[in-house]
Chains A and B, each alone.
Chain A
Amino acid sequence: MVIHELGVNELAYRIRDKELSASDVVAAISDRIEDVEPQVQAFLHIDLEYAKAQAKRIDQLPAHELERLPLAGVPIAIKDNMTTTIMPTTAGSKILEGFMAPYNATVVNRLEAAGAIIIGKTNLDEFAMGSSTEHSAYHVTRNPWDLERVPGGSSGGSAAAVAAQMVPAALGSDTGGSIRQPASYCGVTGFKPTYGRVSRYGLIAFASSLDQIGPLTRSVDDAWLLYQVIAGHDPLDATSLTQPIEPRSAEPVQWNQLRIGIPKEYDGEGLDPRVQERYHQVLSTLEAQGAKLVEISLPHTHYAIATYYLVAPAEASSNLSRFDGVRYGFRAQGNDLLEMYERTRAEGFGPEVIRRILLGTHALSAGYYDAYYLKAQKVRTLIRQDFELAFGQVDVILTPTTPDIAFKFGEKSEDPLQMYLSDVFTVTANLAGIPGISTPAGLISGIPVGVQWLGPALQESRLLQIARGFEELWPSGPWPSLGGDL
């Protein structure tokens, strides 16, 4: 048994059974991180001393207390846009360098209350804005499958840490696909729940009406376990939902009773032919299982990127106005208050964040609000209605997660529009608020590719049951050969 190869469920089970101690697990994870992290660079902060102390505490708990902790002793990494009191929180930005939050994000508290050990904070595109993790102010993260390629973004550090087996699971945040797209690029499972299912308290806000926290794991079962721990109403987040979390369906999916929607708008122009071929292989496999494939139309998909890149920057320009050199971290000198603000923000934010703040400020400014922001919110209604109509005909929708596989460093970073287009299949779920999960669908020339399952709002249980069924039909192969011992 190689400890760092074990998933969340397996680790938790063995630790509860006293077959493994939490200290053994942390020691194994430390070795793995030491071995692999210099190549991958998935983390911004790692605190192994804290992890060791937590492990020791867990190992001293009596059996009946361990029984009550679903994640006892399981090391978890957290995307660095969620606040932690024990480690800095930077959101990948210089403007928050050294920031020590006065409170934990609710998801962090819930993980710790379930016995998880927070081992570090993962790299991300600055303020979660990007699709490659090249826009972190600190360093790039490399795709463990091919170190010349990006891990995707913005939760690229979390996806890479899980794929490189440095942690069995990590949390990411998904505003336009930032969990599902890097999951696809790194060959892991990435799950975005329904908007409002998971508290955003302590998540450094990017676009408040779209952001959602979710897990990145090496299996659907592990995603489910983490989801159950972090989901549920939180009085500290006024937008968090009060509807109860459904219990997981343990039954296998009955493919011959399933209607799978195949949106024609996701299967054509702009899709890498290799990704398209794999998508069609997946569809044939499901059809052979008896699933009914139903061609559907989501006619406003074509407008999703334009809608998203008006709504998200508009909300970002408002959310990021709090970073002004007065209360947190970095301040540049200025002769008066205005100059101090303007220099602090110019020097503290990177170019992609500045680009989006300016775009959002313009979209909200006098004379342009109706033409841009309001127009986009109306088109958003049309996109939501597309899904409502579609879910009248089908149980679930299946698409490629991304139009391409992980690209090489620098390939898209000079052309913002090109970069934005890599989110084309994922943004619609955020605009509509529905849950989505990316599951691996094997490799193309040694690089992972994923497929995306979309379900109706609040039907996470059903969605995960289907994704798990697919995982059994299409099991993941070996993990990337890093560190020389796999």
Chain B
Amino acid sequence: MSLSEEQVKHVARLARIQLKPEEVAQMTVHLGAVLEYMSQLNELNTDQVEPTMHVIPMTMPLREDIVRPSLPVEEALKNAPDPRDNMFGVPRIMDGGEE
């Protein structure tokens, strides 16, 4: 199944990745070829087949409900590009524009 450029732009928006026009064109070709290859899975009838969610049977492990120390704030912020007042700084969300 091939993809249109509009679909690629839509997917890029969902994935939060800005593509340049030439990248949209290139990705459309690459993804189209890969999806075309994937379409061979449709040769198989899987109506009665359960999907594999875990390869090894396992039950959901639960830990004891005990309060434990978490990562210290300064450690958590150590790699942040814009740490401010013990928080992660980001561009303004309201009112748009620069800070």
- Contact residues of A with B, CB < 8 Å? 98-100, 102-103, 194-196, 209, 235, 238-239, 241, 300, 302-303, 305-307, 309-310, 317, 321, 324-331, 334-343, 345-346, 349, 354-355, 357-359, 361-362, 365, 372, 374-382, 384, 416-417, 420, 431-433, 457
In residues 44-99 of chain B, which contact A (Cβ within 8 Å)?
44, 46, 49-56, 58, 60-61, 63, 71, 75-76, 78-82, 88, 90-93, 96-98
Contact B46 A337 (CB under 8 A): no
Contact B15 A337 (CB under 8 A): no
Contact A309 B38 (CB under 8 A): yes
Contact A358 B31 (CB under 8 A): yes
**Contact with B52, one of A238, A326, A381 (Cβ below 8 angstroms):** A381
Contact A330 B38 (CB under 8 A): no
* Known A342-B18, A346-B19; contact A381-B50, beta-carbon cutoff 8 A: yes
* Cα–Cα, bound, A306→B88 (Å): 40
Contact A359 B78 (CB under 8 A): no
* Known A330-B81, A340-B90, A381-B50; contact A361-B15, beta-carbon cutoff 8 A: yes
Contact B16 A378 (CB under 8 A): no
* Cα–Cα, bound, A345→B58 (Å): 35
B74 and chain A: residue at smallest CB distance: A102
What are 16 A-B pairs at a CB distance below 8 A? A102-B71, A196-B56, A235-B63, A239-B58, A305-B37, A306-B38, A321-B16, A328-B80, A334-B91, A337-B91, A345-B16, A359-B31, A362-B35, A378-B52, A417-B37, A432-B55
CB neighbours (8 Å) of A380 from chain B are: 51-52
CB neighbours (8 Å) of B91 from chain A are: 334-337, 339-340
A364 and chain B: residue at smallest CB distance: B14
Question: A336-B97, A374-B51, A416-B34 known; 18 other A-B pairs, CB under 8 Å?
Answer: A102-B78, A209-B54, A303-B44, A306-B40, A336-B96, A340-B91, A342-B17, A345-B16, A354-B27, A361-B15, A365-B11, A375-B46, A381-B51, A381-B52, A382-B44, A382-B46, A416-B33, A417-B33
In the assembled complex, the CB of B42 is this many whole angstroms from the nearest CB of chain A, namely 8
* Known A238-B61, A337-B93; contact A417-B34, beta-carbon cutoff 8 A: yes
B25 at interface (Cβ–Cβ under 8 A)? no
B39 and chain A: residue at smallest CB distance: A306
- Contact residues of B with A, CB < 8 Å? 3, 7-8, 11-12, 14-19, 23, 27, 30-31, 33-35, 37-38, 40-42, 44, 46, 49-56, 58, 60-61, 63, 71, 75-76, 78-82, 88, 90-93, 96-98
In the assembled complex, the CB of A350 is this many whole angstroms from the nearest CB of chain B, namely 12
CB neighbours (8 Å) of B61 from chain A are: 238
In the assembled complex, the CB of B41 is this many whole angstroms from the nearest CB of chain A, namely 5
Contact B88 A327 (CB under 8 A): yes
**Contact with A303, one of B41, B52, B80 (Cβ below 8 angstroms):** B41
B14 and chain A: residue at smallest CB distance: A361
Contact B82 A331 (CB under 8 A): yes
**Interchain pairs with CB closer than 8 A, number:** 165
In the assembled complex, the CB of B76 is this many whole angstroms from the nearest CB of chain A, namely 7
* Cα–Cα, bound, A334→B97 (Å): 9
* Cα–Cα, bound, A98→B79 (Å): 8
A340 and chain B: residue at smallest CB distance: B91
**Contact with B15, one of A317, A416, A431, A457 (Cβ below 8 angstroms):** A317
Contact B88 A326 (CB under 8 A): yes
CB neighbours (8 Å) of B76 from chain A are: 102, 327
Contact B90 A326 (CB under 8 A): yes
For B16, B49, B51, B98, the residue with the greatest tally of chain A CB atoms inside 10 Å of its CB is B16
A313 and chain B: residue at smallest CB distance: B34
For B11, B49, B55, B81, the residue with the greatest tally of chain A CB atoms inside 10 Å of its CB is B55
In the assembled complex, the CB of A45 is this many whole angstroms from the nearest CB of chain B, namely 16
CB neighbours (8 Å) of A433 from chain B are: 55-56
In the assembled complex, the CB of A213 is this many whole angstroms from the nearest CB of chain B, namely 16
The 5 closest A-B pairs by CB, nearest first: A433-B55, A377-B51, A342-B18, A331-B81, A378-B46
* Cα–Cα, bound, A416→B18 (Å): 21
Contact B90 A361 (CB under 8 A): no
Contact B56 A338 (CB under 8 A): no
CB neighbours (8 Å) of B80 from chain A are: 326-328
* Cα–Cα, bound, A201→B54 (Å): 18
**Contact with A355, one of B18, B30, B41, B96 (Cβ below 8 angstroms):** B30
A342 and chain B: residue at smallest CB distance: B18
Contact A375 B11 (CB under 8 A): no
* Cα–Cα, bound, A374→B8 (Å): 21
